[in-house]
Amino acid sequence: MIKILARPFPFLCEPRSTALVIIDMQRDFVEPGGFGASLGNDVTRLQAIIPTVRALLTLWRQAGALIVHTRESHRPDLSDCPPAKRNRGSPSLRIGDVGPMGRVLVAGEPGNQIVEALAPRASEIVIDKPGKGAFYATGLHEMLQARSITHLVFAGVTTEVCVQTSMREANDRGYECLLVEDATESYFPEFKAATLAMIAAQGGIVGWTAPSNQVLSAFLS
């Protein structure tokens, strides 16, 4: 059992039953020319967390613990992308449109791939999710149960959308969840700050938050 100094109080976990879940570190969200940039966002904010996420990824690999990567992606025929999602707002590129990195958020396209610095290994789980949450219309819960996973440590983007949604889904399924504060990011700093506060509020209503140095030091001690 290890103890991570976290908010609102220490997070206790066993490495063998704790998975690292890296949410949507895809080129379409993180790199110029992708879907995130097409919405008018500054993607450099998201790029800045790559070294921290990579440090966590390296730590989990060295520990031989479970790693899960997610990608928000849709079938080429968009049969799993409801019009209410595709038609929202006025982006210069919609899901399924052809952009500089291929069709936006479509499985198999270059922009749908995880950034090279965080590329999954063959032994790691990769979840293609059609929604914002990692558990919706995926087999993630069953995969985690089969491996006796009880605790989840989250990283990735964006904090207030896919990361928070996945944490809330996990909480409803009985997982103890921690979000690594400097390994997640939003295009909007105020949204990230509000999400971190919401997660740890009311005695950890959704889970815990902690900076990466506390996670790293706890695993290495």
Question: Could you report the per-residue pLDDT of 117-157, keeping only the tens digit for each?
Answer: 999 999 999 999 999 999 999 999 999 999 999 999 999 99
Give the model confidence (pLDDT) of 42-77 as tens digits. Answer: 999 999 999 999 999 999 999 999 999 999 999 999
Question: Which residues does the annotation mark as catalytic?
Answer: 24, 129, 162
pTM above 0.85, yes or no: yes
Using the 8-state DSSP alphabet, how is residue 88 labeled? S
User: Is 90's pLDDT higher than 90?
Assistant: no
pLDDT of residue 8: 98
**Six token digits for residue 38:** 């097409």
The 10 Å CB-count burial string (b at 16+, else e) for 125-153 is bebbbbbbbbbeebebbeebeeeebebbb
pLDDT in tens, 17-38: 999 999 999 999 999 999 999 9
